[in-house]
Structure formats: C-alpha cells, structure tokens
Chains A and B, each alone.
Chain A
Amino acid sequence: MGLLSKKDSKLIMDPLADNNPITIQVLGICSALAITAQLKPSIVMAVSVLFVMGVGNVVISLMRNIIPSKIRIIVQLIVVATLVIIVDQVLKAFAYSLSKELSVFIGLIITNCIIMGRFEAFALGNGPWKSFLDGIGNAAGYGVILIIVGFFRELLGSGTLFGFPVLGNPVEKTGLYAIGYENNGFMVLPPMALIVVGIIIWVQRSKNKELIEEN
C-alpha cells in the first residue's frame, strides 16, 4: 500500500467525498458563501484552512492527554487563533491585496465549525499522525468545494479565471461577448453560492444514493 495504510488513506479520502464537511455535514457554509465569488481567494482560503487544520490537529493531538477536559474548548480556541494569526500575518506580508480582499474571513477561520469539530471529534482521541491526516483530509474536502464553487462563480459571474478574461472582453465585445453573451450578475451575489453548493449536494447524492437521508 506504500506510504499510507488502507485505514489512513480512508482518513483522507472520506472527507473528500462521502463525508464531505460542506456537502454532507453542512459545516463551514458561511465562508464558503462569502469568499467564493472568485477563484483566487477561494484557493487561498482553502490553503489557509489546510494549514490551520493540519497543524492544529497535530498540536491538539500532542496535547490531548494534558488538556483538562473542562477548559478544552478554550485551549482549542487558543491553538486555532494562534495559527490563524500566523496565516493572517503571512498574507498581509506577502500578498497584501489578497488579504484585503479576504478581509475578515481569514480571521473568521477561528470560528469555522469544521476546525473545532475535528479537534473535538478526532484530534482529542487519536495520535498525531492520524490527526494530521484527518485534518488534511477535512480541509481538502472543504477546499475542493470552495474551489468548485469559486470556479463556476468566477467563470459565469465575471467571465474570468484567476482574473484572466477567458470568455473575451465584455467592454470591447470580443470572444463570447461578440455574440451577445453577458455575465450573470447573480453569480457574484452570495445567494448564488448557496444555490451552487446546493446543486453540488444534489449531484453528489444522486450519484451515491446511500447519502440520501431517510426523510
């Protein structure tokens, strides 16, 4: 099996599809709606969460035997907050305009329920290596949805990808715009992100009938 045992690879693969934090557990929706109007912030957000969750899960897992259970939420918050501040500062230093664009949402990673949820549900009861894999897996599952949503919203809403005009120039009427195509302004608004996430959930559940709830 190589690098990962079957159990370990399940830790990573599960949250990517059948136990996706956004489409199955419906967590972390707020940031998924807020920052996915374009592809670039979606990817930055995905990477930031990947870092915070991977490292955070390991830290919590290492400390799991010395954290008094009564104050564990506070300890978890401190760990997330520290990591988020690191991410925030790095972004401010090296990608200032991007960090402006993401504004409060990097800071709000602290309140992302996926992270606290994984700390509580997994890192407190498992070793560091497994916790790391679990963190990476869940963050990747979150990130994949973000990137899919961001891709469609930027493509259909602004006609660009990573800021590059891929459908032509809407002002000079080139490319698709020459035949009367227009950008869909609804795609840029957050409600459409909810609908796109809904469509992803729909597609996923019709592919895998086991995911459909009883009622």
Chain B
Amino acid sequence: MGLKQKLHTLKQKYKGTKMAPAFNALHTFLYLPNETTHSGAHVRAADDLKRTMNTVIMALIPCLIFGMFNAGYQANLQTDPEITKAMGFFSGEFWNWTNFVIGLWKVLPLVIVSYGVGLAVEFLFAVIKGHEVEEGYLVTGMLVPLIVPIDIPLWMLVVAVVFGVVIGKEVFGGTGMNILNPALTIRAFLFFAYPTWMSGDKVWVHGAVETAGQPDAISGETILGSLAQGHEISYSVMDMFLGFIPGSVGETSTLLILLGALFLIFTKIGSWRIMLSAVLGALAMGLLFNGVVSAGWIDSSSKFFGLMNTNFWHHLIIGGFAFGAVYMATDPVTASQTNRGKWIYGFLIGFISILIRVFNPAYPEGVMLAILLMNVFAPTIDHYVIQGNIKKRMKRLKVKTA
C-alpha cells in the first residue's frame, strides 16, 4: 500500500471530525484525491484551484530568487566601496554567494512568516467553520514577502497578515469571495499602520535603518522617492529594466516580471487584457504628463516636476508598477470578469497608478492604491458591461421582430 493509499484510508477514517479539513488540505496538496465526481458531466480539465495557484507561484519564483540576490547586492554595494556596479544581467558582481547569503538571511524569514501565519489563520477558520481549507493563501503568501521592504520587522508582518487574511478575506466568506486583493490589503495595512517602515528613504536597502544618522549611513532611497524629491537619479535605464535598483524585495526586475507575465499568459492563468490595458493606461498618463511639461505649463520649481518630467515609458520599469500589473491586477477574484470590463479595469489601474505617483508625494507608489481602488469598482464595471450587452441584444431583437 503506497503512501497515497494510506493517506486516503486515514482520510476515510477521520471523516467528519473537527480536524479533517486541516488533514485534507495537506493530503490534497500532495496528491490528487481518490474521489471522483459522482454525478453529471463536467468540464474536463486538469487545472483545479491548487494547480492554478501553483502556476502563479512558479511564475513568482524567479522574482523571489532575484530579490534575494538583489537584497544582498544593494546592501553590499552601499557598505563595501570595493564592490563595483553590476554590468549586464549575468555579471558576477550580482550573482555571487555573499549577496545571496545576506538576501536569504533577510528574505527567507519573510516567506516563512507570511506562509506560517497566513496558513495558520486559514486552517483555524477552516476548522471553526467546518469547511475544507481553501488554497487562496498559496499565492498571497508568496506575494507578500515580495512586496514589502527588506527590513520590515517580522512582528509587523504577522499583524498585517492576520489583518489581511481575516478582514480582507475571511469576513467576506473566504477564498473567491473577497472584494480586495488580500496581498495588497496586507501591504496597505502595513503602509498606513507603520508608515515609517514602509516609505521614505531609509527602508529599501538592508541596513539603512540601523545606520541612519551615523557617519557611515547608507541611503535606502528608491528611484521613485528620489524623483519625488526632485533629485537626480544615478541608475541607468538598463539597471532599472534588469532590476539592479533598491525597492521592495521582489518587484525590481522588470525583465523577470516580463518573463513571469509571458508564462502566465501562455498558461492562460493571467489575463493578457488586463496586463496590456494597464500598460496602455500608464503610458497614456505618462504621455499626458510629458505633454504638460513640454507645453511649459509647469516649471522645474514645481514639486511635481521631477516625476512629470520622467520619460513616459520609464514609469513602466521603475517602482512596483510592472509587478502590480502582472501579478496583482490580474487576480481573477478581484478583477473584472467580462472581457470588455477587463480592458476598462486594467486601463484605469495604469492611468490612476501614474496619477497617484505624480501628484501624491506621500504615496510615491500609486499602483497599490490604484489596484485596490479598481478592485472595489470591478463589480460595477462588470455590471455596466453586462447591462450594455443586454441593451444591445434587445435592440437587435427588436429590429428583427419589427
């Protein structure tokens, strides 16, 4: 009797007990359960919720690994004057053991805390409510460590994850019922609750907080932060695209996010409509601002000048825009469901992201707020798309019968 059969027998034995959901969750995570559907013909496909979630996680793994190297690289680059800047994507200055050890040491706890706490809450709710454990946290748990600053205290992450999973998801009825993207709810909670750890020029590089104010202080400013302050930036476009820049753990490398996006589109998990329209929206807003600058409506003394003057397509590769558009906006639960709705939803996310980015110096990253805002509007967009379609078809019907 193989392990699979043993687990199945155990499952039958403890059916109906309180801890059964917790056991089933582990069982189905490892193996396909023995049960088959009892009645009726159904869609025959292998992509159940677990496989969907795992596909997204696979798309996130490159970002995570890159994030580990980058965390170490950014810290070493600032503290050790002998380290030179990485040239090209495969440069040895970036992919080396010292960088990885620092990154692993800082990022792994974030992953463990995120998964540990989040799954504990999920299991707890499953046992209390007596339903099966839902898979919804698998992706959220991977997203969370990638979108927080490297030095965030772990207890804050614990508080935020509990808040995000309970208030963002469980109160609405669990996976598939949530209005807001749970990972972004967690980030938004951190952002408003502990702003000193989530924004500013200290938190984005490992070690910048401890050394603040000392002679050997290192800067932890992101590109967006510098631009919002009107400072010159010292990173090349290639650095920004490849991701050798400070920022939240996993969002810096636009190249890897692009690969992840292609993977998600190829496996038909992520919606290319949302991704594309978000990019179009961002470009439109960026062009609009560039136009304002070139028309001379604002001068360089304005506090918005730095970000408005940024080349419109640079907006796509700095900050968390690419990451948000690919991994967060496409969340099938909180996004619009209709195809036309997806175009509107995505476009507005891009549009509003850049708007918030430029005009709100307190929130230099707008994509989080833009996605949360559009999450709220997604059902409304769907409603009007469907109503519009009904009206159109009614008209057609009338023409035919008349």
Task: List chain A positions with a Cβ less than 8 A from chain B.
Answer: 180-182, 184-187, 189, 195, 198-199, 202
Q: Which residue of A lies closest to B198 (CB)?
A: A185
Besides A180-B155, A182-B196, A184-B159, 7 new A-B residue pairs in contact (Cβ under 8 A), listed by A number: A181-B155, A182-B194, A184-B194, A185-B192, A186-B189, A186-B193, A189-B192
Taking residues whose C-beta sits less than 8 angstroms from the other chain, chain B's interface range is 10 to 19
Q: Check A185 against B194 for contact (C-beta < 8 Å).
A: yes
Please, which residues of chain A bring their CB within 8 A of the CB of B173? Answer: none
Of B153, B155, B159, B192, the most chain A CB neighbours within 10 A belong to B192
Asked if A186 meets B192 with Cβ closer than 8 Å, knowing A180-B153, A180-B155, the reply is yes
Compute how far the CA of A199 lies from the CA of B167 in the bound complex, rounded to whole angstroms.
9
Q: How far is the CA of A39 from the CA of B195 in the complex (A)?
A: 23
Whether A185 and B153, one on each chain, are in contact in the complex, defined by CB atoms closer than 8 angstroms, is: no
Please report the C-alpha to C-alpha distance between residue A181 and residue B194 in the assembled complex, in whole angstroms.
11
Interface pairs A-B: 4 shortest CB-CB: A186-B193, A186-B192, A184-B193, A185-B193
Q: Are A185 and B171 in contact (CB under 8 A)?
A: no
Closest chain A CB from B174 CB (angstroms): 14
**In the bound complex, what is the Cα–Cα distance between A185 and B196 (angstroms)?**
10
Q: Give the residue name and chain of the B residue nearest to A191 (CB).
A: B192
Contact A187 B193 (CB under 8 A): yes
Interface residues of B in 185-218 (CB under 8 A from A): 189, 192-197
When A180-B155, A182-B156 are in contact, do A198 and B193 touch as well, CB less than 8 Å? Answer: no
Question: In the complex, what's the smallest C-beta–C-beta distance from B257 to chain A, in angstroms?
Answer: 29
Q: In the docked arrangement, what's the CA distance between A181 and B153, Å?
A: 9
In the complex, 25 of the A-B residue pairs with CB atoms within 8 angstroms, ordered by the A residue number, are A180-B153, A180-B155, A181-B155, A182-B153, A182-B156, A182-B194, A182-B196, A182-B197, A184-B159, A184-B193, A184-B194, A185-B192, A185-B193, A185-B194, A185-B195, A186-B189, A186-B192, A186-B193, A187-B193, A189-B192, A195-B167, A198-B167, A198-B171, A199-B167, A202-B171
Interface string of B145-171 (1 = CB under 8 A from A): 000000001011001000000010001
